[in-house]
Amino acid sequence: MTGQEIPFPPENSRIDGLAATFAARLIDWQRRCGRHDLPWQGSDPYRVWLSEVMLQQTQVRTVLPYFARFVARFPTVEALAAAPLDEVLALWSGLGYYARARHLHAAARLWVARWPGTCPQGAQEWAQLPGVGRSTAAAIAAFVQRERVPILDGNVQRVLCRLFAVEEDPRAAATARRLWDAAHALLPRDPDDMPAYTQGMMDLGALVCTRTRPRCDLCPVAELCAAHRLGIAAQLPRKRARAPVPEQDVRWGWYEEDGAVWLVRRAPQGIWGGLWCLPPADEAPPGRWRAAGEIARLTHRLTHFTLNITVTRYLPETPRAAEHAAAWGEEARCLTPHEALALGVPQPLRRLLAQAVDVPIEHAKGNMRRLGVAKGKFEVSERIDEHDEDVARLFRGKEKP
DNA sequence: GATTCGTGGAA
DNA sequence: TTTCCAAGAAT
C-alpha cells in the first residue's frame, strides 16, 4: 500500500484498501497526537452542537472564552430555550456572524419542543435545526451518534485538495461535489471509529496540513498524498482572485443625556442584525438636540468591505429623557455606557463604550483614533465576572417560560 | 451559482 | 502593512 495514491475521484474498485489505510493511519495519529482536552469534547450533545455552531468560520482560540461563558450561563438546551434572545445576543457580542446566535436560539426552542428530553437522532435530524448545515450536522452526528457521515469544512477541503492534488477551486460547486464524494469514500468502516476519525480530520488540517508551511514531515498520510509526491502541497488549494474591498462611510449619533446614551435595535436582517447600536446621526431621538463635536472616527474592517464610522456627539436642548423613552418605544433605550456594555452590541461600538467608561472588556483589541489624541493601540484585559454580573442584572426577571 | 454575514489570528 | 481565511449557513 505504501507509495500508492488514492484515485480522484475515488473508484470503488480501488478505494477500499487505500481508504482503510488512510483511515487507520489518521485514527492512530489522532489518538497519539490529536487534541483531546477541548471543553466540548465528550458525549453531551448540547455542548457538541453549541461548539460546532460557534466554530463556524471561527478559530478554536477565539471560541474558547465565549464557550465557557455560554455554558456557564446556559448549561442545558432547556436553559437556552427559556432565555430571551437579547441575552443570547449579549453573550454572543464580539463573536461575529450574529445570525448564528439568532438561529441558535430558535434551534434550542425547536429542539426542546420536538425532541423533549433527548436530541435530534442522526445528521438528517440535526440538519433540521436552523443554523446547522450539512457539514455541521455531520460533525455532530459523527461525535454524538457515531454516524458514518463525512464533514467538509475548510480544513478538510484543504486536506483533500492536497491528498488528491486538486487544482480546481474547492469552493466551485462542481469541485465541492467531488470533494464530498471523496470525503464519504474515505470514511472508516467501523462506526465506533467515527469520533476519532472526524476529530483527526479536523486536527490534521489545524495542526499539520496547515494553510502555510504544511508539516508534511509529521503527516501520518504523507505517503498517500499526491500533492506531497508532486512537491506542491504548500501551493494547494489554489487561491482565487479576490475583488478589492469597497469602503463605506457611516455616521453614528452619540445622543447623550445625563450621562446616558441612546441605543436603538438594528433590524434583524443585515449586518449586526438584532444588536443594539448608536442611531444614525441624522435620526435623532424625539426632542431638540445640538451637535457637540465629533467624538471618534472608527475604521472597522470586515471580510467584504471596510466601514468608516464617524461618531458625532449631541446634547439635548431641553432635558426630558423620560418623555423620549416613551416616545421612541421598546426598540430604543437610554443607558449609561456601562449598562450598554451588557447588551449585544457590535464590536466597534463595544470598543467605543469601553473607552468611554474606562472599563476593560474581553476581546476588545484593536485600533481606535480619537480626535485630538494621538492614534492609540489598546488591548484590555478580561473582566468576565463583572461583565456577567451586568448581564445578569440587566436581564433579571425577563425570562420566558 | 453568487452574495452576505464579523472578528481576529497569522504570515 | 496587507492579505488570507478559519470546525459554513442562509438567502
Three-state DSSP string of A235-289: HCCCCCCCCCCCEEEEEEEEEEECCEEEEEECCCCCCCCCCEECCECCCCCCCCE
Please tell me the total count of domains within chain A. Answer: 2
Q: Which residue is the nearest neighbor of B8, CA to C1'?
A: A62
Residues A225 and A270 in one domain: no
DSSP A296: E
- Residue owning grid cell 456557564: A72
How would you write the pLDDT of chain A (401 residues) with one tens digit per residue? 344 566 666 655 556 678 899 999 999 999 999 999 999 999 999 999 999 999 999 999 999 999 999 999 999 999 999 999 999 999 999 999 999 999 999 999 999 999 999 999 999 999 999 999 999 999 999 999 999 999 999 999 999 999 999 999 998 888 999 999 999 999 999 999 999 999 999 999 999 999 999 999 999 999 999 999 999 999 999 887 777 788 999 999 999 998 899 999 999 999 999 999 999 999 999 888 999 999 999 999 998 899 999 999 999 987 776 677 777 877 899 999 999 999 999 999 999 999 888 654 433 333 232 222 222 222 222 333 344 444 444 443 333 32
Of A residues 25-84, those with CB within 7 angstroms of nucleic strand B are 57-59, 61-62
pLDDT of residue A244: 74
Same-domain pairing of A17 and A164: yes
DSSP annotation of A117 = T
Nearest nucleotide to the CA of A57, by C1', is C6
The answer to whether residues A258 and A283 belong to one domain is yes
- A310 and A192, same domain (yes or no): no
Q: Is the CB of A348 under 7 A from strand B?
A: yes
Query: What does the DSSP assignment read for A7-42?
Result: -SSPPHHHHHHHHHHHHHHHHHHHHHHS----TT-S
Tell me the nt nearest to A173, Cα to C1': B1
Of A235, A261, A289, the one marking the end of a domain is: A235
Indicate if A213 and A90 belong to the same structural domain: yes
The domain boundary residue, chosen from A235, A257, A292: A235
Q: Which nucleotide is nearest to A345 (CA to C1')?
A: B6
Please report, rounded to whole angstroms, the spatial distance between the CA atom of protein residue A135 and the C1' atom of nucleotide C9.
10
Q: Give yes or no for CB of A130 within 7 Å of strand C.
A: yes
Residue A94 and residue A181 in one domain: yes
CA atoms within 13 A on the CB side of A311: 23
Strand C interface, A 35-54, C-beta < 7 A: 35, 38, 40-41, 51-52
Residues A169, A298 within the same domain: no
Q: How far is CA A300 from the centre of its chain?
A: 17
Which residue range is the domain that position A112 belongs to? 12-235
CATH number at residue A274: 3.90.79.10
Annotated catalytic residue: which of A52, A147, A256, A362?
A: A52
Q: Which of A213, A163, A157 is nearest to A10 (CA)?
A: A163
The spacing between the Cα labelled CA in A375 and the C1' in C2, in angstroms, equals: 19
What residues contact residue A347 under an 8 Å CB cut-off, 6+ apart?
A93, A94, A96, A300, A364
Q: How far apart (Å, rounded) are the C-alpha atoms in residues A5 and A256?
A: 67
List all nucleotides in chain B with at least one atom under 7 A from a protein Cβ.
1-2, 4-11
- Tell me the CA distances in angstroms from A71 to A80, A94, A396, one per residue in order: 9, 17, 18
Q: Please give the Cα distance from A193 to A257 (Å, whole number).
A: 61
- Spatial neighbors of A173 by CB under 8 A, at least 6 apart, are none
End residue of a domain, out of A235, A265, A291: A235
Residue A7 lies in a domain: no
Separation in Å: C9 C1' and A321 CA:
41
Q: Report the run of H or E that residue A334 belongs to, with start and end.
A: strand A332-335
- CA distances from residue A313 to A64, A251, A284, A293, A351 in whole angstroms, order as listed: 36, 11, 11, 6, 16
User: Do the domain assignments include residue A391?
Assistant: yes
In-domain check, residue A240: no
CATH code for the domain of A68: 1.10.340.30
Instruction: Verify whether residue A52 is a known catalytic residue.
Output: yes
Q: What are phi and psi of A289, to 5 degrees?
A: -125, 150
d(CA A399, CA A184): 43
Q: Which of A23, A223, A56 is nearest to A152 (CA)?
A: A56
Same domain, A251 and A306: yes
Strand C contact with A61 (CB < 7 A): no
Do A48 and A118 have their domain in common? yes
Instruction: Give Rg (Cα) of chain A.
Output: 25
pLDDT at A397: 33
For residue A53, give the 3-state DSSP assignment: helix
Q: Rounded to the nearest 10 degrees, what angle do helices A60-73 and A85-92 cross at?
A: 150
* Residue A172 Cβ under 7 A from any strand B atom: yes
Count the neighbouring beta carbons within 10 Å of the beta carbon of residue A172.
11
Query: Between vectors from CA A157 to CA A43 and to CA A238, what angle results, nearest 5°?
Result: 155
> Does residue A242 lie in a domain region?
no
